[in-house]
Structure 1
Amino acid sequence: MSKLRFALIGAGMMGVEHLTNLALFDEAELVALVDPVPSSLRYAVRALGERAAGVAQFANVPDLLAAGLKLDGVIISSPNHTHHDVLTPLFGADLHILCEKPLCSDLEDAKRVAERAASHRGVFWVGMEYRFMPPAAEFIRQVHEGRVGRLVMLAMREHRFPFLPKVGDWNRFSRNTGGTMVEKCCHFFDLMRLIVGAEPVRIHCSGGMDVNHLDERYGGERPDIIDNSYTIVDFDNGVRALLDLCMFADGAEQQEEIAATGDKAKLEVFVPSGELVYSPRVGFRQPKRVERSTVGVDETVLAAGSHHGATYFQQRAFIDAIQKGAPVQVTARDGLRAVAMGTAAEISAREKRAVEFAELNVG
Structure 2
Amino acid sequence: TGLGALLVRNDAAGILRKTYFGGGTAAAYLSGENYYVPAENISDRFEDGTVSFLDIIALNHGFESLYRITGNMHNIQQHTFGLARYTYTLLSSLCHGNGRPVAQIYAEGQFESPITQGAILNFNLLDSSGQIVGYSQVDRMASLFNIHLRTGCFCNTGACQAFLGITDQQMKRNLQAGHVCGDGVDLVDGQPTGSVRVSFGYMSTFEDCQKFLSFVAECFVMKPVTVNRARLQELKAARESSDRPDELPPVNGFIKERQTGVEKSSSKASQQEFGHVGPSHGKTLTNIYVYPVKSCAAFEVHDWPVGPLGLLYDRGWMVVNGNGVCLSQKRESRLCLIRPQVHLPSNKLFLQASGMDTISVPLEDDVSFHTSSQMCHSKVCGDRVETFDCGDEAAAWLSLFLG
Bigger Rg, which one = 2
Q: Which has the higher contact order (CA 8 A, sep 6+)?
A: 1
The interval holding the TM-score normalised by the smaller chain is under 0.3
TM-score, reference length from structure 1 = 0.25
TM-score, reference length from structure 2 = 0.23
Structure number with higher strand proportion: 1
